[in-house]
Chains A and B, each alone.
Chain A
Amino acid sequence: MRLLVLGAGPGGYVAALKAAQLGAEVIVVEDTEVGGTCLNRGCIPTKALVASAEAIHKAKKLKDFGVDVSGEITPNLSRIMERKNKVVSTQVKGIRSLFKSWGVTLIEGKGMLLTPGKVEIEKKDGSVEIVEADKIIIATGSKPAQIPIFPFDGEHILSSDDALNIKSIPKSLIIVGAGVIGCEFACIFRELGTEVTMVEMMPGAISTEDPEIARLLEKELKKKKIKLMTEVKVERVEGQHDGIHVGLAGGKELVAEKLLVSIGRSLNTEGIGLEAIGIKKGSRGEIEVNEHMETNIEGIYAIGDVTGGMLLAHVASKEGTVAAYNACGIEKKIDYSVVPAAIFTSPEIASVGLREDQASEKGIDYITGHFQFRALGKAHAMGEISGFVKVVADKETDRLLGVHIIGPHASDLIHEAAVAIKAGLKVRDIADTIHAHPTLSEGLMEAAEDVHGEAIHVPKPT
């Protein structure tokens, strides 16, 4: 069985490797670089920058930790970018090497579906190759969405892709869109020394997260002197000699050296032949798929961002695995019941399962437990006391429904909760499990205890 995968991002390359492991002959077509957005323009490079930002932050606080420094702490942008590029290229080489190891053929070029079994590939050298395949997985991903009246120019109006490759640290930056990407960049740039102003249409930042978490993040952003303007729309953008002028609805004008637009992603459904072969798309242009990741055309699957959905790399990878199994004749269904998500702001945010409003919507009578990181010895020892853990549980069955964390290492801590929810565990199961001391994980244990009013490190309620 020959499988052709269109796109080598976290969805495509995982699907390709899985199918190869299952014995299929696999060809991957990639028009930019192996690893897709995640590896080259998203997850990995941003986390490399976050690591540099954390290093700067720690360096500025060395005195607090009893370390004397002589001299200035200065970010060296070209070194920061060099490091980021090295991290990325090592990962890219790793995937190419995995392809070789598993016998996956990589064709570098832009692929377009001609018929349900035939793909035309325009290669980088201009030549065209036609490849026939028994099954096809479409994994073309997404790209930064721009505001049509002021498109990206890579110089003054930046996309997240551009922000990752800046050549100098801007003195000032306006960020349009205070979602996950906007907030992560706000923290990175602020740490580099940029004056950051964020403009958001919704009433608050990261509006898809638990409101208590979002409110605390807003406070932390304020502490960093990041200015956040909410319920505000951008009406006009003009480049002038003194910088980018951004006119807001209501008359106010902001001026900064650069503008970063992080309002969302647009799906890569153009120019790949979907219309020609009759692939069904949804209202937002997303490719529609069933629980086997199959489109309306038998033998053609679609995974990752191009199908809309959560726009998360790990979701794309899971979908890739499911699609690969189905393409190879082994039935599998995608399960979205437990999808952890992490935001690499400072402090980090992570969540899995239901928010309170989602539990309400499902008609579940729920209870919550909270625990502040500042009540944990480990957090104090580390010098990172801001944040909390919130547990949402079913009042009747005590089943764990959701966990929301803002604080140090939230992105790692969340997985205890993810496993617990997947296994249908009760809050008491977490509360009754001994957690090593002193660790941040004790925060989850005490939040679980707090659901039943049994947390120890909490003063008696008045």
Chain B
Amino acid sequence: MNFPDDLKYHREHTWVKVSGKKATIGITDYAQDALGDIVYIDLPEIDAEISKDAEFSEIESTKATSSVIAPVSGTIIEVNEDLEESPEIINEDPYGKGWIAVLELTDPSEIDDLLDAADYERYIEEEAK
């Protein structure tokens, strides 16, 4: 399983890539693996305000339906429209082409609450027990 070092992670299995006041978010390799083949994602709307720790999207796989929890708060400025036709991109490349949305951060200090790659990996190992 892959957990890139340059990202920050939320306990509900979403990742954040910060770039100044903007952030790109998506779900982790652990999440896409647990979900199985993703068949649909309910993408958020542009200009939607999302809140850290709250559901901002829903993903349907062949196995289950799952809430996607926002790792940080902000306003959505871009969504990955490719996922409408091909949601399976999330399974193939969860950190790259499978990005879900870009947002403008409301409170950059929220990043400090998130885990780095090593801590997230440890957290997952604990969860599995």
Closest to A223 in B: B40
A61 close to B (CB within 8 Å) = no
From B40, B42, B60, B62, give the contact of A380 (CB < 8 A): B62
- CB-nearest residue of chain B to A225: B84
The residues in A between 378 and 429 inclusive whose CB is less than 8 angstroms from any CB of B are 380, 385-386
Contact-size category for B = under 10
**Shortest Cβ distance from A7 into chain B, in angstroms?**
46
Q: Which residue of chain A lies nearest to B63 when distances are taken between CB atoms in the complex? A: A374
User: A219 to B39, alpha carbons, bound, how many Å?
Assistant: 14
Which residue of chain B lies nearest to A372 when distances are taken between CB atoms in the complex?
B64
Say how far A374's CB is from chain B's closest CB, in angstroms. 6
Chain B contacts for A374, CB-based, 8 A = 62-64
Closest to B40 in A: A223
Contacts of A372 in B (CB 8 A): 64
Beta-carbon contact of A385 and B62 below 8 Å: yes
User: CB-CB < 8 A to B63: which residues of A?
Assistant: 374-375
Considering only residues 1-59 of chain B, those with a C-beta below 8 Å from chain A are 39-40, 42, 58
- From 358 to 388 in chain A, residues with beta carbon under 8 angstroms from any chain B beta carbon are 372, 374-375, 380, 385-386
The 8 Å CB contact of A222, one of B39, B42, B62, is B42
Which single residue of chain B is at the shortest CB-CB distance from A388? B65
Chain A residues lying within 8 Å of B40, measured Cβ to Cβ, are 223
Interface string of A213-227 (1 = CB under 8 A from B): 000000100110000
CB distance from B120 to the nearest CB of A (A): 19
CB-CB < 8 A to A223: which residues of B? Answer: 40, 42
For the residues of A in contact with B, the DSSP-based class is helix
Q: How far is the CA of A349 from the CA of B87 in the complex (A)?
A: 26
Return chain A residues, CB-CB under 8 Å to B60. Answer: 386
- B53-85 interface code vs A (CB 8 A; 1 in, 0 out): 000001010111000000000000000000000
Q: Tell me, rounded to whole Å, the shortest Cβ–Cβ distance linking A288 to chain B.
A: 46
Cα distance, A380 to B62, chains bound together (Å): 8
| Complex interface: chain B residues within 8 A of A385 (CB) | 39, 62
Q: A219 CA to B62 CA in the complex, in Å?
A: 16
Shortest CB–CB separation between residue B56 and chain A, in angstroms?
15
Residue in A closest to B60 when the chains form the complex, CB atoms: A386
Provide the bound-state CA to CA distance between A385 and B60, in Å. Answer: 10
**Roughly how many angstroms separate A219 CA and B58 CA in the complex, as a whole number?**
10
A379 nearest in chain B by CB position: B62
Task: Collect the chain A residues with CB atoms within 8 Å of residue B64's CB.
Answer: 372, 374
The distance from the CB of B40 to the nearest CB of chain A, in whole angstroms, is 6
B27 to chain A, nearest CB (A): 19
A215 to chain B, nearest CB (A): 11
Tell me the complex Cα distance, A223–B58, Å.
12
Q: Whole-angstrom distance between the alpha carbons of A380 and B40 in the complex?
A: 15
Closest A residue to B61 using CB positions: A374
> Chain A 282-315 against B: per-residue CB contact (8 Å), 1 yes, 0 no?
0000000000000000000000000000000000
A386 contacts across to B, CB distance below 8 A: 60
**Residues of B close to A222: CB separation below 8 A:** 42
What's the Cα separation between A374 and B40 when bound, in Å? 13
How many Å lie between the Cα of A374 and that of B58 in the bound state?
16
Q: Which residues of the partner chain B approach A219 to less than 8 Å between Cβ atoms?
A: 42, 58
**Shortest Cβ gap from A69 to chain B (Å):** 18
CA A434 to CA B76, docked complex, whole Å: 50
Question: How far, in angstroms, from A219 to B42 measured CA to CA in the complex?
Answer: 9
With A and B bound together, what is the CA distance between A374 and B37 in angstroms?
12
Chain A residues within an 8 Å CB radius of B42:
219, 222-223
Q: CA A363 – CA B63 in complex, angstroms? A: 36
With most chain B CB atoms within 10 A of its CB, the pick from A222, A374, A386 is A374
The answer for the CA separation of A385 and B38 in the assembled complex, in Å, is: 12
Minimal beta-carbon separation of B24 from chain A (angstroms): 24
Shortest distance between the CB of A381 and any CB in chain B (Å): 12
Shortest distance in angstroms between B85's beta carbon and chain A's nearest beta carbon? Answer: 13
Nearest Cβ on chain B to A235's Cβ, whole angstroms: 25
- Tell me, rounded to whole Å, the shortest Cβ–Cβ distance linking A379 to chain B: 10
What distance in Å separates the Cβ of A375 from its nearest Cβ neighbour in chain B? Answer: 8
B60 CB, nearest partner CB in chain A, Å: 8
Nearest Cβ in chain A — how far from B67, in angstroms? 12
**Residue of A219, A222, A380 with most chain B CB atoms under a 10 A cut-off:** A219
Docked pose: A223 CA to B43 CA in angstroms? 10
In the bound complex, residues from chain A placing their C-beta under 8 Å from that of B39 are 385
Distance between Cα atoms of A374 and B38 in the complex (Å): 12
Report A419 CB to chain B, min CB distance, Å: 31
> How distant is the Cα of A380 from the Cα of B37 in the complex, in angstroms?
12
Give 7 nearest A-B pairs by CB, closest first.
A374-B62, A223-B40, A385-B62, A374-B63, A380-B62, A222-B42, A374-B64
| B binding-site residues for A, Cβ under 8 Å | 39-40, 42, 58, 60, 62-64
Q: List 14 A-B contacts (CB under 8 A).
A: A219-B42, A219-B58, A222-B42, A223-B40, A223-B42, A372-B64, A374-B62, A374-B63, A374-B64, A375-B63, A380-B62, A385-B39, A385-B62, A386-B60
Q: Can you name 12 extra interface pairs (CB under 8 A) apart from A372-B64, A385-B62?
A: A219-B42, A219-B58, A222-B42, A223-B40, A223-B42, A374-B62, A374-B63, A374-B64, A375-B63, A380-B62, A385-B39, A386-B60
